[in-house]
Amino acid sequence: MALCTPRKCIQVILFISFVSFITVNLHFFSPVRPLPASVEKSDVDFQAITVSKPKVAPISLVHKTLNRQLPNVKPPEDKTKRPNIDSKKQAAASADRKTQSSVEKRFSQFNESLEFIISDINEKQIIRNRNKFPPIKESDTYDHVLAIQVHNRDNYLNYLIKSLRSTKYINSSLLVVSHDFYSQSVFDIIDSIDFMPVSMLLSDDL
Ligand SMILES: *[C@@H]1O[C@H](CO)[C@@H](O)[C@H](O)[C@H]1NC(C)=O
Ligand SMILES: *[C@@H]1O[C@H](CO)[C@@H](O)[C@H](O)[C@H]1NC(C)=O
Protein backbone atom coordinates (compact mmCIF):
# COMPACT_ATOMS: atom_id res chain seq x y z
CA MET A 1 0.00 0.00 0.00
CA ALA A 2 1.24 3.49 -0.84
CA LEU A 3 2.39 5.70 2.02
CA CYS A 4 -0.41 8.16 1.27
CA THR A 5 -3.14 8.58 -1.29
CA PRO A 6 -2.66 11.40 -3.83
CA ARG A 7 -5.43 13.34 -2.13
CA LYS A 8 -3.83 12.97 1.34
CA CYS A 9 -0.42 13.92 -0.11
CA ILE A 10 -1.76 17.13 -1.62
CA GLN A 11 -3.50 17.97 1.63
CA VAL A 12 -0.28 17.46 3.56
CA ILE A 13 1.73 19.54 1.08
CA LEU A 14 -0.85 22.33 1.21
CA PHE A 15 -0.82 22.27 4.99
CA ILE A 16 3.00 22.47 5.15
CA SER A 17 3.03 25.34 2.62
CA PHE A 18 0.42 27.19 4.63
CA VAL A 19 2.36 26.79 7.87
CA SER A 20 5.65 27.93 6.24
CA PHE A 21 3.87 30.89 4.66
CA ILE A 22 2.47 31.97 8.01
CA THR A 23 5.82 31.48 9.75
CA VAL A 24 7.78 33.46 7.15
CA ASN A 25 5.26 36.26 7.07
CA LEU A 26 5.03 36.50 10.82
CA HIS A 27 8.80 36.71 10.90
CA PHE A 28 8.96 39.54 8.36
CA PHE A 29 5.97 41.55 9.43
CA SER A 30 6.19 41.20 13.17
CA PRO A 31 5.90 44.66 14.70
CA VAL A 32 9.26 46.24 15.34
CA ARG A 33 10.05 46.81 18.97
CA PRO A 34 9.76 50.51 19.76
CA LEU A 35 12.89 52.05 21.16
CA PRO A 36 13.05 53.45 24.67
CA ALA A 37 12.05 57.09 24.79
CA SER A 38 15.05 58.14 26.87
CA VAL A 39 17.41 59.57 24.31
CA GLU A 40 20.47 61.47 25.30
CA LYS A 41 20.74 64.70 23.43
CA SER A 42 24.30 64.71 22.26
CA ASP A 43 25.63 64.95 18.71
CA VAL A 44 28.11 62.16 19.12
CA ASP A 45 28.28 59.60 21.84
CA PHE A 46 30.76 56.83 22.31
CA GLN A 47 30.49 53.88 24.58
CA ALA A 48 32.25 50.57 24.60
CA ILE A 49 30.38 47.31 25.01
CA THR A 50 32.63 45.92 27.69
CA VAL A 51 33.91 49.09 29.34
CA SER A 52 31.38 51.40 30.90
CA LYS A 53 33.65 54.44 30.78
CA PRO A 54 35.95 53.99 27.81
CA LYS A 55 39.28 55.74 27.93
CA VAL A 56 39.77 55.44 24.20
CA ALA A 57 39.80 58.55 22.08
CA PRO A 58 36.83 59.33 19.83
CA ILE A 59 37.25 58.02 16.30
CA SER A 60 37.57 61.51 14.84
CA LEU A 61 40.49 62.14 17.17
CA VAL A 62 42.10 58.92 16.02
CA HIS A 63 41.79 60.11 12.44
CA LYS A 64 43.40 63.39 13.37
CA THR A 65 46.22 61.51 15.05
CA LEU A 66 46.70 59.31 12.02
CA ASN A 67 46.60 62.32 9.70
CA ARG A 68 49.16 64.17 11.74
CA GLN A 69 51.53 61.25 11.57
CA LEU A 70 51.01 59.97 8.08
CA PRO A 71 52.36 62.76 5.85
CA ASN A 72 55.74 63.10 7.57
CA VAL A 73 56.74 59.49 7.62
CA LYS A 74 57.91 57.31 4.77
CA PRO A 75 58.69 53.60 4.93
CA PRO A 76 62.45 52.93 4.95
CA GLU A 77 64.01 52.01 1.61
CA ASP A 78 65.33 48.58 0.92
CA LYS A 79 69.04 48.75 1.78
CA THR A 80 69.99 45.84 -0.46
CA LYS A 81 69.16 47.98 -3.48
CA ARG A 82 71.85 50.55 -2.59
CA PRO A 83 74.39 50.66 -5.48
CA ASN A 84 78.22 50.68 -5.13
CA ILE A 85 79.49 54.23 -4.73
CA ASP A 86 82.83 56.07 -4.88
CA SER A 87 84.45 57.76 -1.86
CA LYS A 88 83.10 61.22 -2.66
CA LYS A 89 79.59 59.97 -2.54
CA GLN A 90 80.30 57.94 0.58
CA ALA A 91 80.00 60.96 2.90
CA ALA A 92 76.66 61.83 1.38
CA ALA A 93 75.64 58.21 1.67
CA SER A 94 76.59 58.19 5.33
CA ALA A 95 74.51 61.32 5.91
CA ASP A 96 71.76 59.60 3.98
CA ARG A 97 72.00 56.59 6.24
CA LYS A 98 71.75 58.82 9.29
CA THR A 99 68.59 60.42 7.97
CA GLN A 100 67.38 57.05 6.92
CA SER A 101 67.90 55.51 10.33
CA SER A 102 66.03 58.39 11.94
CA VAL A 103 63.24 57.92 9.41
CA GLU A 104 63.30 54.21 10.17
CA LYS A 105 63.06 54.92 13.87
CA ARG A 106 60.18 57.29 13.41
CA PHE A 107 58.51 54.88 11.05
CA SER A 108 58.75 52.02 13.51
CA GLN A 109 57.37 54.26 16.25
CA PHE A 110 54.60 55.28 13.93
CA ASN A 111 54.07 51.66 12.98
CA GLU A 112 53.72 50.71 16.62
CA SER A 113 51.35 53.53 17.45
CA LEU A 114 49.26 52.80 14.37
CA GLU A 115 49.11 49.13 15.30
CA PHE A 116 48.14 50.13 18.82
CA ILE A 117 45.38 52.44 17.60
CA ILE A 118 44.05 49.78 15.24
CA SER A 119 44.05 46.97 17.79
CA ASP A 120 42.60 49.33 20.38
CA ILE A 121 39.68 50.23 18.12
CA ASN A 122 39.13 46.59 17.15
CA GLU A 123 39.29 45.25 20.70
CA LYS A 124 37.08 47.84 22.37
CA GLN A 125 34.38 47.59 19.71
CA ILE A 126 33.14 51.05 20.38
CA ILE A 127 29.59 51.66 19.26
CA ARG A 128 28.87 55.19 18.17
CA ASN A 129 25.36 56.49 18.91
CA ARG A 130 24.88 53.73 21.45
CA ASN A 131 23.37 56.09 24.03
CA LYS A 132 21.01 57.48 21.46
CA PHE A 133 19.95 54.05 20.20
CA PRO A 134 20.57 51.58 23.03
CA PRO A 135 20.48 47.81 22.47
CA ILE A 136 17.69 45.60 23.81
CA LYS A 137 18.05 45.76 27.58
CA GLU A 138 17.69 42.09 28.47
CA SER A 139 20.08 40.68 25.91
CA ASP A 140 22.33 43.69 25.22
CA THR A 141 21.93 43.02 21.50
CA TYR A 142 20.42 44.76 18.50
CA ASP A 143 17.58 43.49 16.30
CA HIS A 144 19.91 43.00 13.34
CA VAL A 145 23.58 43.45 12.64
CA LEU A 146 24.51 44.78 9.21
CA ALA A 147 28.13 44.25 8.30
CA ILE A 148 29.63 46.09 5.36
CA GLN A 149 33.15 46.05 4.03
CA VAL A 150 34.17 49.42 2.67
CA HIS A 151 37.16 50.23 0.53
CA ASN A 152 37.78 53.66 -0.97
CA ARG A 153 34.69 54.37 -3.06
CA ASP A 154 33.00 57.08 -1.07
CA ASN A 155 30.40 57.82 -3.78
CA TYR A 156 28.94 54.30 -3.57
CA LEU A 157 29.11 54.38 0.20
CA ASN A 158 27.15 57.64 0.15
CA TYR A 159 24.32 55.93 -1.73
CA LEU A 160 24.26 53.06 0.75
CA ILE A 161 24.21 55.38 3.76
CA LYS A 162 21.49 57.46 2.13
CA SER A 163 19.25 54.43 1.65
CA LEU A 164 19.97 53.18 5.16
CA ARG A 165 19.06 56.62 6.49
CA SER A 166 15.63 56.42 4.84
CA THR A 167 14.92 52.90 6.15
CA LYS A 168 12.29 52.80 8.85
CA TYR A 169 13.39 51.47 12.24
CA ILE A 170 16.97 51.15 11.01
CA ASN A 171 17.88 52.64 14.39
CA SER A 172 17.23 49.31 16.12
CA SER A 173 19.95 47.62 14.05
CA LEU A 174 23.69 47.87 14.42
CA LEU A 175 25.93 48.76 11.50
CA VAL A 176 29.42 47.26 11.53
CA VAL A 177 31.78 48.83 9.04
CA SER A 178 34.98 47.02 8.17
CA HIS A 179 37.68 49.20 6.63
CA ASP A 180 40.57 47.77 4.63
CA PHE A 181 41.71 51.08 3.20
CA TYR A 182 42.77 54.37 4.73
CA SER A 183 40.42 56.92 3.22
CA GLN A 184 39.60 60.09 5.09
CA SER A 185 36.48 60.73 2.98
CA VAL A 186 35.17 57.25 3.81
CA PHE A 187 35.91 57.80 7.52
CA ASP A 188 34.11 61.15 7.34
CA ILE A 189 31.01 59.53 5.85
CA ILE A 190 30.95 56.90 8.61
CA ASP A 191 31.54 59.66 11.16
CA SER A 192 28.50 61.50 9.87
CA ILE A 193 26.09 58.60 10.60
CA ASP A 194 23.75 59.86 13.31
CA PHE A 195 20.65 57.77 12.62
CA MET A 196 21.79 54.33 13.82
CA PRO A 197 24.43 52.72 16.02
CA VAL A 198 27.66 52.08 14.17
CA SER A 199 30.89 50.32 15.01
CA MET A 200 34.10 50.16 13.01
CA LEU A 201 36.63 47.42 12.40
CA LEU A 202 40.04 48.19 10.94
CA SER A 203 42.09 45.77 8.94
CA ASP A 204 45.61 45.11 10.23
CA ASP A 205 47.14 46.15 6.91
CA LEU A 206 45.12 49.33 6.65
C1 LIG B 1 55.27 47.43 10.75
O2 LIG B 1 54.38 46.46 11.28
C3 LIG B 1 54.16 45.32 10.46
C4 LIG B 1 53.11 44.47 11.12
O5 LIG B 1 53.45 44.10 12.42
C6 LIG B 1 55.50 44.58 10.25
O7 LIG B 1 55.29 43.47 9.42
C8 LIG B 1 56.49 45.53 9.62
O9 LIG B 1 57.73 44.90 9.47
C10 LIG B 1 56.64 46.79 10.47
N11 LIG B 1 57.52 47.72 9.76
C12 LIG B 1 58.50 48.39 10.37
C13 LIG B 1 59.32 49.28 9.52
O14 LIG B 1 58.71 48.29 11.58
C1 LIG C 1 13.78 55.10 15.43
O2 LIG C 1 13.13 55.05 14.20
C3 LIG C 1 11.72 55.13 14.30
C4 LIG C 1 11.11 54.94 12.92
O5 LIG C 1 12.01 55.11 11.88
C6 LIG C 1 11.31 56.48 14.90
O7 LIG C 1 9.91 56.53 15.03
C8 LIG C 1 11.97 56.59 16.25
O9 LIG C 1 11.70 57.87 16.81
C10 LIG C 1 13.46 56.41 16.13
N11 LIG C 1 14.03 56.37 17.47
C12 LIG C 1 14.89 57.29 17.89
C13 LIG C 1 15.38 57.09 19.27
O14 LIG C 1 15.26 58.20 17.20
Centre of ligand 2 to C-alpha 165, Å, is 11
Mean pLDDT of 73-88: 54
Residues 6+ apart with CB under 8 A from 185: 154
Q: Which ligand is nearest to the CA of 115?
A: 1
Q: Which ligand is nearest to the CA of 39?
A: 2
Mean pLDDT of 49-66: 43
Is 180 annotated to bind a ligand? Reply is yes
State the Cα–Cα distance between residues 93 and 67, nearest whole angstrom: 30
Q: Give me the percent of the chain exceeding a pLDDT of 70.
A: 64
Q: Global pTM? A: 0.51
Q: Is 168 in the pocket of ligand 2 (CB under 6 A)?
A: yes
Reference 142, options 114, 171, 115, 118; nearest CA is 171
Contact criterion met (CB below 8 Å) for 89 and 19: no
Q: What residue ranges line ligand 1, CB within 6 angstroms?
A: 107-108, 111, 115
Res 21: pLDDT: 67
State the Cα–Cα distance between residues 10 and 79, nearest whole angstrom: 78
